[in-house]
Amino acid sequence: MLILKGTALGANYIEKEGHCYYFNDIGCDINDARDACQTIFGNNQEGKLYEPMTSRIYDMVFGAFSSKTSSQVWIGAHDTTNEGQFTYFSGGPLQYANWYDNEPNDYGSGEDCVEIYTTHAGQWNDDGCNTIQPSICEKVEQGE
């Protein structure tokens, strides 16, 4: 039923270049957000928090979800392993970063997870991983 592929997607889903993205507006800490992406998209290495790799794709994904009301939204990067060394949850250093002014700052007792500031043109902040907020999931389509 290829013809349904686009139209069957709900309002919180978009599909771009063989990847599907989902805006999860249920507030979660980072671990629950990661689990939710697997629940939504499958746990066979398919569903994960969105891991931005290029500005071109990031601008498309952020643009599609920028009207969402939440001001802070989880994506799939962290520095829990080595402070100051941000990596994707899938592994490897960031290929692309979009930090807000003076971020990341590991504020207070420490901040090790990466969020989008939707109120600051989609630039990023490091925040405490226990913060409860929405998130963006990604699925790489089979065969891509």
- Residues at the interface with Ca ion (CB under 5 A): 79, 105-107, 111-112, 125-126
- Choice between 20 and 98, CB closer to Ca ion: 98
- Please answer whether residues 37 and 135 qualify as being in contact, where contact means their C-beta atoms are separated by less than 8 angstroms: yes
Binding residue for ligand MAN, selected from 24, 98, 118, 125, defined by CB under 6 A: 125
What is the smallest separation between the CB atom of 132 and ligand MAN, expressed in angstroms? 13
Min separation Cβ 7 and ligand MAN, Å: 39
Q: Which string of DSSP letters, residue by residue, matches 53-116?
A: --HHHHHHHHHHHTTSS-SEEEEEEE-SSSTT--EETTSSB-S---BPTT-----TT---EEEE
Residue 127 makes contact with ligand MAN by CB under 6 A: yes
144 close to 18: Cβ distance less than 8 angstroms: yes
**Interacting stretch for ligand MAN, rule CB under 6 A, among 10-18, 53-61, 103-111, 132-140?**
103-111
From the list Ca ion, ligand MAN, none, which binds 138 (C-beta under 5 to 8 Å, kind-based)?
none
Cα-only R_g, the chain: 15
